[in-house]
Amino acid sequence: MRKAALKLAGWGRTTYAACEAARPERFGEAVAGFAADAGQNGICLYGAGRSYGDCALNSGGTALITTRLDRILGFDAQTGIVQVEPGVDFRRLMEVFLPRGWLAPVTPGTGFATVGGAVAHDVHGKNHELDGSFGQHVTAFDLLLPDGARRTVVPADGDLFAATVGGAGLTGFITRIEFRMKRVPGGAVRVREHRAANLAAFLSAMRDAAGASYAVGWIDAAARGAALGRGILETAEPIEGVFAQPPERARRVPFEFPAFALNRFSVALFNEGYFRRVPPDGRTRVVPWRTFLYPLDALHDWNRIYGRRGFVQFQCVVPFETGARALRDLLEVISASHQASFLAVLKRMGAGRAGFLSFPMPGFTLALDFPRCAGLEALYARLSAITLDAGGRVYLAKDALLDAASFRRMYPEFPHFAAVRQAVDPERHIQSDMARRLRLQDAP
Amino acid sequence: MSGGQTWLILGASSAIARALAREAAARGADIILAGRDDDDLRRTAADIGVAYGVHARTETFAALDHAGHRALAASLADIPGILNIALLFGIMPEQAAMDADPSLAAACLDANATGAISILHHIAPLLEARRAGMVVGFGSVAGDRGRLKNYVYGASKAALHTYLAGLRNRLGRSGVHVMTVKPGFVDTAMTFGLPGMFLVAQPRDVARVCLNAAAKKRDVIYVPWFWWGIMSVIRGIPERLFKRLSI
Ligand SMILES: Cc1cc2nc3c(=O)[nH]c(=O)nc-3n(C[C@H](O)[C@H](O)[C@H](O)COP(=O)(O)OP(=O)(O)OC[C@H]3O[C@@H](n4cnc5c(N)ncnc54)[C@H](O)[C@@H]3O)c2cc1C
């Protein structure tokens, strides 16, 4: 396995790692490369690099990039069970299976993410309340352990399954994933958009929409006072019709935007227009699956709009019981900071989760981007503290700034994870910048 | 199946070969993946079978095993419909490594030139007899001029270019088309992480361009196309000056 000295980045482009990277194209080469001695800083798996922070980065160590292990290994059209190599991404799943009436059961908001990455963070979609997390649809996976042993792991295996799903790649190299696709009646959804004038209206609209197949809210994080928490709730139902997706007209962000392009005034202006785009009594549209599930994918490298300074995403979930209060507190801090960007999402989550370190819990999840700026660490710490006080947690797939102590309180099942990790990787062959930062390395 | 097309992909483990196989399958062709790493090729065959619903299988092929070339060519005789060949195998040891160990230079020529000519020479009579089909051979822009940084690899590809030109002349008389592809920088295992890469093309785009150009019976193509311009300039530099450059 040939390695090259590379600087890899998290999607937010505030976290970087100088490392020895390899991108094997043959399966056997990847297996041998993973097992080889990786030195003091070990090895980490890197999928499509769509995690925002440092979970896939390994400064001073080795990174094994999985994107060229991209083959679909089998599909059973009776059961909908598909088997894939870890580097297959959600775009390809859609391209191959939607024309036959099958869709990934759960997908993150970008089709560029790999299935390996989806397992490693037990990702959720806009259908979490109804359909749960990705890991709940996984029927088996193959895991290459740090000592070179290969295991096929099924949900009934218990701890090793639960430590690996959502385990941020720290229990082994997931080399094959088997999961159940879901049937859809056509190539589009009927989307209903409602305006919500403030947070209370937003939360009650979301409660009323709890039975919707898909639901996601855009929130105006710059709004304050009486308009605090205003936004647009989108609910969607699959509809019958042709499966073909319109041709993709991809655009690329050709350069890094200058820092002044995104400021409180441009964001407020954008948000006002974005809010008013939907008439006061709402509207209904038919939208192809790809546009609905992956709205940002048509703009390649959109992370460059934040310029060279990069950005950080904060995503938390807070329980329903304490959530209304916590969201108000969070939004007040955010709008007062004048730092939020226009990309801000509010969704409801259900109980579905499949791993010890899985993010979801029943409650509200809020996600928003902040361009890097002075005081960002302090702002992030305040938001994390509000989340923690409300009994919530921060999402590791997005995180670059959480501290180890808060992490442990947010993830009470960490000791179970640590016990499995101690058993399968006592030498700490697998490492990452996140593992070192959050002390995921520690023995239980 | 049907009386349709079959593509034999020689050296099917590389990223461009995998992309070419998928693209041909997406256009309805059956696929034979030939190479040394059978476990890996089976994975690609499975992928193609699931994704495109065509027939895909593997064959053992090694560039240096000339005796095996005869057997492989013979096994192609009863393939129904139109048989097309894509030749993509090759190795690119670093120039410095070959300078230090001349046996590596010989190995580079053995695989990229001798091996390629051997297998195509075994298959040529079969194609002549079938009076249909095409050959797409992957050379390289490196074959256009002997550059300090890569001239052994370049020499192997120059040999292949010359061979393909002659084969084009020969097979054209039987209605079999031969196309030479000269890729510039493509995002593959060969170029991964190398310094000095620019405007790197994705394998999938290269595959599309190649199949479109082959359908139009183009003789020699550069992918991406602008490499034609770059190489015209490089070829135009007088040797007297060129010998002092280290591009
Ligand atoms: C625009 C956008 C929208 C998003 N929307 C959502 C969303 O709605 N819901 C959601 O849950 N997430 C969302 N995400 C986050 C994203 O789904 C996760 O970060 C996902 O893990 C990214 O997958 P990846 O292939 O890019 O993996 P990477 O980011 O490269 O790696 C992620 C983790 O997976 C591990 N890993 C990768 N491959 C393997 C393997 N084969 N074996 C073991 N470990 C492995 C890595 O070590 C790392 O810890 C979004 C991200 C973006 C950029």
Task: Answer yes or no: do A352 and A388 share one domain.
Answer: yes
Query: Is the confidence metric ipTM above 0.90 for this complex?
Result: yes
Q: List, for residues A292-341, the tens digit of each pLDDT value.
A: 999 989 888 888 888 888 999 999 999 999 999 999 999 999 999 988 87
Task: Answer yes or no: do A88 and A192 share one domain.
Answer: no
A28: contact with B, CB 8 A cutoff: yes
Q: How many angstroms does the Cα of residue B152 sit away from the middle of ligand 1?
A: 42
In this structure, is residue A431 part of a structural domain? no
In this structure, is residue B247 part of a structural domain? no
In this structure, is residue B43 part of a structural domain? yes
Task: Answer yes or no: do A261 and A284 share one domain.
Answer: yes
Task: Answer yes or no: do A126 and A225 share one domain.
Answer: no
Q: ∠ CA(B16), CA(B19), CA(B20), 5° rounding? A: 85
Q: What domain count does chain B have?
A: 1
Task: Answer yes or no: do A331 and A375 share one domain.
Answer: yes
Which of B13, B46, B193 shows the shortest C-beta gap to A26? Answer: B13
Beta bridge partners of A286: A190
DSSP labels, chain B: -TT-EEEEEESTTSHHHHHHHHHHHHTT-EEEEEES-HHHHHHHHHHHHHHH-S-EEEEE--TT-HHHHHHHHHHTTT--SEEEEEE-------HHHHHH-HHHHHHHHIIIIIIHHHHHHHHHHHHHHHT--EEEEE--GGGGS--TTTHHHHHHHHHHHHHHHHHHHHHHTTT-EEEEEEE-SBSSTTTTT-TT--SPBPHHHHHHHHHHHHHTT-SEEEESTTHHHHHHHHHHS-HHHHTT---
In this structure, is residue A287 part of a structural domain? yes
Task: Answer yes or no: do A284 and A158 share one domain.
Answer: no
Residue-range definition of the domain harbouring residue A162: 72-184
Q: List, for residues B174-185, the tens digit of each pLDDT value.
A: 999 999 999 999
Q: How many angstroms does the Cα of residue A36 sit away from the middle of ligand 1?
A: 24
In this structure, is residue A61 part of a structural domain? no
Per-residue pLDDT for A401 more than 50? Answer: yes
In this structure, is residue A435 part of a structural domain? no
Can you tell me the mean pLDDT for A188-208?
Answer: 96
Tell me if A25 and B46 make a contact (CB, 8 A cut-off): no
Task: Answer yes or no: do A218 and A118 share one domain.
Answer: no
Task: Answer yes or no: do A262 and A158 share one domain.
Answer: no
Task: Answer yes or no: do A113 and A200 share one domain.
Answer: no
Task: Answer yes or no: do A216 and A171 share one domain.
Answer: no
Q: How far is CA A376 from CA A57, A259, A306, A434, B176, in A?
A: 21, 15, 14, 18, 65
In this structure, is residue B206 part of a structural domain? yes
In this structure, is residue B68 part of a structural domain? yes
Which of B15, B44, B193 shows the shortest C-beta gap to A71? Answer: B44
What phi and psi, each to the nearest 5 degrees, are found at residue A297? -70, -20
In this structure, is residue A271 part of a structural domain? yes
In this structure, is residue A21 part of a structural domain? no
Q: What domain count does chain A have?
A: 2
Task: Answer yes or no: do A164 and A271 share one domain.
Answer: no
CATH of the domain at B175: 3.40.50.720
CATH of the domain at A385: 3.40.462.10
> What is the pTM (predicted TM-score) of this model?
0.96
CATH of the domain at A86: 3.30.465.10
Q: List, for residues B92-132, the tens digit of each pLDDT value.
A: 999 999 999 999 999 999 999 999 999 999 999 999 999 99
In this structure, is residue A367 part of a structural domain? yes
Q: Of B144, B36, B139, B156, give the one whose Cα is nearest residue B98.
A: B156
| pLDDT at residue B1 in the model | 42
Residue-range definition of the domain harbouring residue B95: 5-242
> Do B135 and B220 touch, CB atoms closer than 8 A?
no
Q: List, for residues A203-220, the tens digit of each pLDDT value.
A: 999 999 989 999 999 999
| pLDDT at residue B79 in the model | 95
In this structure, is residue A141 part of a structural domain? yes
Tell me if A25 and B15 make a contact (CB, 8 A cut-off): yes
Task: Answer yes or no: do A180 and A192 share one domain.
Answer: no
Per-residue pLDDT for B2 more than 60? Answer: no
The set of protein residues with a Cβ atom below 6 angstroms from ligand 1 is A 11, 44-51, 55-56, 66, 86, 108-110, 113-114, 116-118, 120-121, 123-125, 168-169, 173-174, 296, 397
Residue A128 CA from chain centroid, whole number = 13
- Where does a domain end: A163, A184, A205? A184
Name the percent of chain B lying above pLDDT 70.
99
